[in-house]
Amino acid sequence: MFAVGLTGGIGSGKSFVAQRFAARGVPIVDTDAIAHRITAPNGIAMPAIASEFGASFVAQDGSLDRARMRTLVFSDETARRRLEAITHPLIRAETERERQQASGPYVVIVVPLLVESGTWKGRVDRVLVIDCSIDTQIVRVMSRNAFTREQVLAIIARQATRDARLAAADDVIVNDNLPLESLDARVDELHRLYASCAGH
């Protein structure tokens, strides 16, 4: 099925915009939700994670000990790559399965690290970037996650720059203080475009 890859920095409004497409009957595949599911209790990534990193990274309920893993991969680039070598192929396979099962005019795949992780751009038919200023990201994420300004800036520093994302975009939604009516008008416009690209 024709697939739109939806991406953007943390707090840009990816989930918010994806919901506006979902409200139009578009199936959404959320790679973050898949990443979470494969590392939930009895998730399909857990046996490989346990054998690669040890039982201390598995919580009592059989899920990933997220806090422990986050601390490790934040300071250890090699560990992050070892983890991704396990999770990324599984996320890709699950995404592909959901894409094939989805029914609708086209599918929107939400991929936070589409630009950073290289292979995604070739797996989708079109890239939609949700763009906003760093100031907007800081305000949104501080209130959503109760993070400090420094924590938000540290996450942003590890992600692709706005320019890198915009360079990869076929379409852009500029989502700074965008009223819902304006957002919906833009989503309607893109929805028509994608449906016609998909042959509907």
Cβ(99)–Cβ(3) below 8 Å: yes
Taking CB atoms, the residue at the shortest distance from ligand ADP is 13
- 10 to 49, contacts with ligand ADP by CB under 6 A? 10-16
Residue located via tokens 């290289």:
118
Q: Of these, 3, 4, 8, 115, which contacts ligand ADP (CB under 6 A)?
A: 8
* Cβ nearer to ligand ADP, comparing 23 with 85: 23
Helix/strand/coil for 15:
helix
Residue 13 labelled as part of a binding site: yes
Site string for ligand ADP, 125-144 (x = CB under 6 A): ---------------x---x
Q: How many residues bind ligand ADP (CB under 6 A)?
A: 13
Alpha helices by DSSP H, the chain:
14-22, 31-38, 46-53, 66-75, 77-101, 134-145, 149-158, 162-168, 180-197
Q: Return the residue of 33, 183, 195, 197 that touches ligand ADP, per CB under 6 A.
A: 183
What is the rounded distance in angstroms from the CA atom of residue 158 to the CA atom of residue 185? 32
Q: Can residue 178 be called a binding residue for ligand ADP (CB under 6 A)?
A: yes
Q: How far apart are CA 39 and CA 57, in angstroms?
A: 11
Judged by the rule CB under 6 A, the positions of this chain that interact with ligand ADP are 8, 10-16, 140, 144, 175, 178, 183
Annotated binding site for ATP: 11-16
